[in-house]
Structure 1
Amino acid sequence: MTSLKRLCLLFLVAIVALAARPTVKPTLYLIGDSTVKNGSDKGDKGLWGWGHFLPEFFDTTRIHIENHAIGGRSSRTFHTEGRWEKILSRLQPGDYVLMQFGHNDAGALDDTARARGTIRGIGEETKDIYNPIQKRPETVHTYGWYMKKYITEAQAKGAIPVVLSLVPRNVWKEGKVARGSQDYGLWAKQVAEQTGAKFIDLNEIVAKQYEAIGQERVTKEHFTEVDHTHTSLAGAKLNAAAVVEGVRATKGLKLTRYLIKK
């Protein structure tokens, strides 16, 4: 066999081996609170999180989706309970992290019920407390500090973080939905800009859709009688579709390649 034929044969073998090698699917991780995943996410008390329905919009033969959100958590407690650390240890280059926090961050820092609050804003302020839940001293940071931690640590792993502003509550004034544009929605946008992460203004997208539907129908169909925060089945589906709308509209977000074509 001539050297040229041998070289061609080796090249052909390499091509065949490359084609036969299994393709590793990227993983899309969801982190957040009960508006993303409620309880067992089987509709407990009629409540649903939007993360349950997100896989319906993606080609799951090409991307794996894991919903790690959990009810009652803030940007702080999702970290301090070790939930983020478990995800971080598994993150691979090309994975995605969709994060939505804020609903529970306004709580007290050191109350005996939950101790889940964060300092308002995105600065470097801290407060030393004794955590009565975990029974240990703790330095509490701002909402923005915890969000930046998720973003920068994901980026360091080669993953792509996507920050979502929190879905709006069923709170209205003069026919308009109350926005988060002066606090947690604004701060989510600011930390995304500071870190170079992609940002989806889910708060605004959903609020506009609620207003188009009208307060009476939104209250009756998209929320339950439990409270003004947790969505019904219809509400969670609307929010999931809104997330996808935001993904499609975000320039340069390659997550769109895994969406099922309309």
Structure 2
Amino acid sequence: MKTKYLSLGLITAFIVLSSCIVLKQNEKPTLFLIGDSTVKNGKGKGDGSLWGWGSFIGELFDTNKINVENNALGGTSSRTFQTNGLWEPVLAKIKKGDFVMMQFGHNDSSPLDDTARARGTIKGIGTESKEIFNPIKKKQEVVYTYGWYLRKFINDVKAKGATPIVCSSIPRNPVKDGKVVLANDSYAKWAEEVAKAEHVDFIPLNQLIKDNYGAASADLVKTYFTEKDHTHTNEAGAKLNASLVVAGLKTLKNSRLNKYLK
């Protein structure tokens, strides 16, 4: 009989302890990351030596005080992350006091209605729209500007009592003919303009990375990218980019997210 009561007592204690741990997890704020493959490539485990910066940024936060959840998905644009049903489950988890960091742009320049992905957005940040036939979904779809989709993310996050943070997309490999050739990025400019208009925090990640590349040799910059394409970073490049996200975050003097950094 004593053994029976002892077992019941241990089970009860375990349930209570587990509940406390779950409750404590839920009480912590969460930093949600959304974006494309330069934030999370594949399953975020470095398959093919391809890494996104979101796989390493959690190491720079005190995860005893904040959860970091990387929900980015390769191949997505600001449009398809929403229209393909990826945003809704993330939005459902967001609670008051959370943070959402977004980085899109690489895939937004794709065609609006090609048979491969149909993921592009209208260039700019205005209110323009265009009705197209989506050959992937085989139905009509109204497509908006890059800025329209960013504003949708921002307003959804604000409505949940959470804090949106916009990052400009990382630059592609700038090494050409043995030299670092840095180019302007329209999507980086548009991301900044949207963030400013919506009065939300902005991290000029594109410029921060270019500043770093500009001060380095072409041989060093090459070591940050895979040899498979001119877009995706390897582990070293992704870790550098994660550190520069944090460097940009530290310049935001009124950001509550800063207090969770290590």
TM-score under structure 2 normalisation?
0.88
1:57 corresponds in structure 2 to 60
Instruction: Give percent identity, aligned residues only.
Output: 54
1:249 equivalent to 2:251? Answer: yes
TM-superposed CA distance for 1:245, in Å, is 0.4
1:226 corresponds in structure 2 to 228
Kindly indicate whether the alpha-carbon contact (under 8 Å) linking 1:93 and 1:159 is maintained by their aligned counterparts in 2: yes
Equivalent position amino acid for 1:128 in 2:
E
* Counterpart pick for 1:97 among 84, 97, 100: 100
TM-superposed CA distance for 1:61, in Å, is 0.9
Unaligned runs of 5+ in 2: 1-22
- In 1, Cα distance between equivalents of 2:128 and 2:241: 33
Q: RMSD of aligned C-alpha atoms?
A: 1.4
Instruction: Determine helix, strand or coil for the equivalent of 1:51.
Output: helix
Kindly indicate whether the alpha-carbon contact (under 8 Å) linking 1:165 and 1:188 is maintained by their aligned counterparts in 2: yes
TM-score under structure 1 normalisation?
0.88
- In 2, Cα distance between equivalents of 1:179 and 1:170: 13
- In 2, Cα distance between equivalents of 1:168 and 1:148: 22
Measured against aligned partners, the alpha-carbon deviations of 1:190-232 in whole angstroms (never above 9, x if no partner) come to 110111110010000011111222222211x100111111001
Query: Where has structure 1 moved over 6 Å in runs of 4 or more?
Result: none
2:134 corresponds in structure 1 to 131
Equivalent position amino acid for 1:118 in 2:
T
1:32 corresponds in structure 2 to 35
1:7 corresponds in structure 2 to none
Measured against aligned partners, the alpha-carbon deviations of 1:97-156 in whole angstroms (never above 9, x if no partner) come to 000000000000000000000000000111101111112210000000000000011011
* Counterpart pick for 1:177 among 170, 174, 182: 182
TM-superposed CA distance for 1:175, in Å, is 3.8
After superposition, where does 1:5-16 map in structure 2 within 5 Å?
none
Kindly indicate whether the alpha-carbon contact (under 8 Å) linking 1:95 and 1:160 is maintained by their aligned counterparts in 2: yes
- In 2, Cα distance between equivalents of 1:131 and 1:45: 31
TM-superposed CA distance for 1:91, in Å, is 1.1
- In 2, Cα distance between equivalents of 1:215 and 1:132: 41
After superposition, where does 1:132-211 map in structure 2 within 5 Å?
132-172=135-175, 175-180=180-185, 183-211=186-214
Kindly indicate whether the alpha-carbon contact (under 8 Å) linking 1:164 and 1:199 is maintained by their aligned counterparts in 2: yes
- In 1, Cα distance between equivalents of 2:240 and 2:212: 9
1:76 equivalent to 2:79? Answer: yes
1:13 corresponds in structure 2 to none
TM-superposed CA distance for 1:172, in Å, is 4.8
Measured against aligned partners, the alpha-carbon deviations of 1:16-64 in whole angstroms (never above 9, x if no partner) come to xxxxx95700010000000000012221111100000001100101101
Instruction: Determine helix, strand or coil for the equivalent of 1:216.
Output: helix
Instruction: Determine helix, strand or coil for the equivalent of 2:93.
Output: coil
- In 2, Cα distance between equivalents of 1:70 and 1:225: 21
- In 2, Cα distance between equivalents of 1:230 and 1:243: 17
Measured against aligned partners, the alpha-carbon deviations of 1:224-257 in whole angstroms (never above 9, x if no partner) come to 1111110011000000000010111112111000
Instruction: Determine helix, strand or coil for the equivalent of 1:177.
Output: coil
- In 2, Cα distance between equivalents of 1:214 and 1:105: 30
Instruction: Determine helix, strand or coil for the equivalent of 1:85.
Output: helix
Kindly indicate whether the alpha-carbon contact (under 8 Å) linking 2:180 and 2:213 is maintained by their aligned counterparts in 1: no
Q: Which moved more, 1:62-71 or 1:163-172?
A: 163-172
- In 2, Cα distance between equivalents of 1:172 and 1:196: 35
State how many pairs are aligned: 237
